[in-house]
Amino acid sequence: MITAKFNLKEEYLDSIFEGDIKKQDLIDYIDATRLNKSYPRKLKILTDSTKASLLVSKEDLKLVVEANLKSLEHYDFITDAIITLYPKETAYSVLYKEMSATNKYKFEVFTSREAALAWLLRE
């Protein structure tokens, strides 16, 4: 399950990934972000996936990247800090970072919420 709530005080989207996360969950989340007109066009996202297990393949990841690139068409810039603890999820996050490289998207991987939030709010 993926939940997202915009933090009005610090102006970032606080997203929580929990349980088994599949390709369609990720695409639905990205599409919801793409369609949300109330978010700032320079969007900051904190993604906590410390309680999630990614059930995706490398081919699935390509489709997720494609959805993200479509979403970026609706934003000036997106900065995303992801928190992950497990080797598989970390590896997928690093691969996603490489596959989604663009001048409108900055993505970093962290192991603690404190470090991720400090980086995100500096960007």
In a structure prediction context, what are the per-residue pLDDT tens digits for the chain, which is 123 residues long?
A: 999 999 999 999 999 999 999 999 999 999 999 999 999 999 999 999 999 999 999 899 999 999 999 999 999 999 999 999 988 888 888 888 888 888 999 999 999 999 999 999 998
Spatial separation of the C-alpha atoms in residues 17 and 30, rounded to whole Å? 13
Topology classification of domain 2-122: Transcription Regulator spoIIAA (3.30.750)
Looking up tokens 């080797």 gives: 87
Measured in residues, the chain has a length of 123
What is the pTM (predicted TM-score) of this model?
A: 0.92
Strand partners, 21: 54
Q: Which of 43, 42, 10 is nearest to 117 (CA)?
A: 10
75 secondary structure, DSSP code: -
- Ranges of each domain in the chain: 2-122
Contact 104, 68 (CB under 8 A): no
